[in-house]
Amino acid sequence: MGVPLDQLLIQTINGIVTGMILALVSSGLTLIFGIMDVVNFAHGELLMLGAYVGVLTLAATGNFWLALLSAGLLIGLLGAAIYLVTLRPLIDRGPLTTILATFGISLVLQNVALWQFGPVSRKVAEPIGGHFTLFYLDYPWYRIVVALLSAAIIGGFWLFLKFGTWGIWIRATTQDRVMAQAMGIPVPWVLTGVFAIGSAMAAASGVLFGPLSGVDPTMGLGWILRAFIVVVVGGMGSLGGSIAAAILVSLLEAYASLWVSPSQAIIVSFVVLIVTLLFRPTGLFVAAPK
């Protein structure tokens, strides 16, 4: 069956928009994993809480930028606190222990949100209105803004990693934690900082995504699941791989939803994952091991 070109194009744009958000979510996850071997199961819940902070700030002030900023700051602080209280004592106990701890954290955060905000999904008006005509559709500008903002955050983060002193410290710590500390880098603070940055990135993606789908306490799970797929497909710990995989997976899902319902379209990501595991268990976008 033939698919009209216009639909294909619309789905391409849709795929890139969700792909950019997913890339933002996954970058935070992969950053935290790369530097401290922690798979943050609670990453999705930080996204969800970020979305709520965004909703509340938006309701109180009406300022989208303020919402983005406050969510990033607050959830960044929350991330730092979570790290200091629960993960720092586990630092030498291996990634399996930390995945258990962060799983516990995700349960607590999700239920706190349920308790505080109720189970009903909150609709959020698109903070940047206006549409443009895409074939027969009124395509919201906001979606384009979301993609651009996500790209901007990722790009800004990349510049920070590449050129800033802290960026060099973070990369040095990722490559050799012990040696980094022996060179005078305050590694305990770098780790806390990275956890805060990763959390803030999750929060930012929550704020950006909120208006597209509504905000509810369980929205984190869907994201963490897709982010997990992305980091396995992209190669755990590889920032570039995560971004590429995020866009690939989202595009494929968008195309698939031309034929099946969105809840079934996620099966496409599963297929990508299975194929990756079959042929390149270390990830599609990292160099194959020797």
Partner 1 sequence: MRRGHGTVFWTGFAVIVALLIAAPLVLTEFWRRFVTEILIWGLLAMSSDILIGYTGMVSFGHSAFFGLGMYGAAAALLTIDPPNLWLALFYGLVAAAAVAACVAYFSTRLRDIYFAITTLIFSQIFYVIIFTWTAVTGGENGLAFERPPLAIPGLFDFVLTPTRLHWFVLAVVAGSYLILRRITQSPFGMVLQSIRENEARTRAIGYAVERYKIVAVMLSGLFAGLAGVLYALQNQFAAPDFVFFLVSGETVIYNVIGGIGTLVGPIVGAAFFLLLREGLSRFLTQYYLIPLGAVFIAIVILMPQGLLGFMRRWLNE
Partner 2 sequence: MSSGAGAAFIGTGTAVARVGEDARAADLLAVDRLHTYYGKSHILHGVSLSVGRGEVVGLLGRNGVGKSTTLKAIAGIVHPSAGEVRFEGRPITGLPPHRVARLGIGYVPEDRRIFPLLTVLENLRVGLDRRGVAKAKKALLLDKIYAYFPVLAERRHQAGGTLSGGEQQMLAIARAMMLEPKIILLDEPTEGLMPRMVSQIREIIEALRGEGVAVLLVEQNVPLTLEASRRIYFIEKGEVRHHALGSQLHVGDAVIHQYLGV
Q: Decide whether 16 or 231 has the Cβ nearer to partner 1.
A: 231
Q: How far is the CB of 57 from partner 1 (least distance, A)?
A: 24
Residue from 97, 121, 181, 213 binding partner 1 (CB under 8 A):
97
Per CB under 8 A, the segment of 12-20, 147-155, 165-173, 231-239 that binds partner 1 is 231-239
Residue from 13, 252, 273, 286 binding partner 1 (CB under 8 A):
273
Residue 212 contacts residue 20 (beta carbons within 8 Å): no
Q: Does 101 bind partner 1 (CB under 8 A)?
A: yes
Q: Does 156 bind partner 1 (CB under 8 A)?
A: no
Closest CA to 241 of 11, 50, 2, 31: 31
Closest CA to 50 of 189, 193, 223: 223
How far is it, in rounded angstroms, from Cα 21 to Cα 98?
Answer: 25
Q: Residues 108-137 vs partner 1: string with x where CB under 8 A?
A: x-xxx-xx----------------------
Residue 277 in tokens: 């595991």
- b/e map of 152-188 (b: 16 or more CB within 10 Å)? ebbeebeeebeeeeeeebbebbbeebeebeeeebebe
Q: Decide whether 93 or 123 has the Cβ nearer to partner 2.
A: 93
Q: Decide whether 122 or 171 has the Cβ nearer to partner 2.
A: 171
Residue from 5, 125, 178, 278 binding partner 1 (CB under 8 A):
278
Residue 20 in tokens: 């950019």
Q: Does 188 bind partner 2 (CB under 8 A)?
A: yes
Q: Decide whether 118 or 164 has the Cβ nearer to partner 1.
A: 118
Residue 122: helix, strand or coil by DSSP?
A: strand
Q: Decide whether 103 or 166 has the Cβ nearer to partner 1.
A: 103
Q: Does 221 bind partner 1 (CB under 8 A)?
A: yes
Q: Which residues touch 268 (CB under 8 Å, ≥6 apart)?
A: 249, 252, 253, 255, 256
How far is it, in rounded angstroms, from Cα 230 to Cα 236?
Answer: 9
Q: Does 81 bind partner 1 (CB under 8 A)?
A: no
Write the burial class of residue 221 (CB in 10 Å: 0-12 exposed, 13-18 middle, 19+ buried). Answer: middle
Q: Decide whether 137 or 271 has the Cβ nearer to partner 1.
A: 271
Residue 40 contacts residue 32 (beta carbons within 8 Å): yes
Amino acid letter at 96? L
Number of residues near partner 1 (by CB under 8 A): 40
Closest CA to 222 of 89, 78, 44, 19: 44
Residue from 59, 183, 271, 274 binding partner 2 (CB under 8 A):
183
Q: Residues 152-171 vs partner 2: string with x where CB under 8 A?
A: -------------x--xx-x
Residue 229: helix, strand or coil by DSSP?
A: helix
Out of partner 2, partner 1, none, which partner does residue 188 contact, by CB within 5 to 8 A per kind?
Answer: partner 2
Q: Which residues bind partner 1 (CB under 8 A)?
A: 39, 86, 89-90, 93-97, 99-101, 103-105, 107-108, 110-112, 114-115, 221, 225, 228-229, 231-232, 236, 261, 263-264, 266-267, 270, 273-274, 277-278, 281
Binding site for partner 2 (CB under 8 A): 165, 168-169, 171-172, 175-176, 178-188
